[in-house]
Structure 1
Amino acid sequence: MNLLQLKEKVNKGIELGAQVVYIKEESLLFGIEKILKNEENKSIVLVKSKGESLKSEDFINIIDEIYNHIGDVEVFIGKDNKYRNEDKFIEFVEFAQYEDIKMLFLNSN
């Protein structure tokens, strides 16, 4: 998924009230620890975390900053910056609600 597609989907989630963005692989949930930019191959990697994740509004602000700096690039999900060959594509964005918390899941293959 590219950055503008992701931004569009996250904005739709925010309109529905999504407060937090998580990474979802199979049935496991991860936070977003950091975002790595690679200007050479025009991509960014969202690095998984077992801790807290980003608020939806903060995530949109980061996406805007990246877009203004390097443009519409591909977005991947990775474990860390050591194993870049294991980066995965974002397949789709899913809206969910658990009790009072509304959230977005970035689903990878």
Structure 2
Amino acid sequence: MDNDQLEEMFQAVGPISIRRMFGGKGIYSDGEIIAIWLRDRMLLKGDAECAQQYEAAGGMRWTYQHNKTGKTVSMPYWSMPEVGWDDPDEMATLARTALGAALRSR
């Protein structure tokens, strides 16, 4: 996804900045990371307060297997629910939710 597309997706939270991260792109609003574009997946910042909202919309928490311990590690990001791809108003809501989670994690 190119930077212009990302800026359009996240316009509801105002201007964003985009930085290379983990071979993907980190999406920032006011210096706070709100999403990651990685391996053709959009991952939205989340926390306990918004987890149920993301999951109810079809998002899944980003987890991975630790390469040394084999334990599952849960990251504070959720996959973009399909409604975010299909409906600009829903995307605006998701972007604001991600920003809220980022601000709470300070």
**Higher helix fraction (1 or 2):** 2
Please tell me the TM-score bracket, short chain as reference.
under 0.3
The structure showing larger relative contact order (alpha-carbon pairs under 8 Å, at least 6 residues apart) is: 1
**Higher strand fraction (1 or 2):** 1
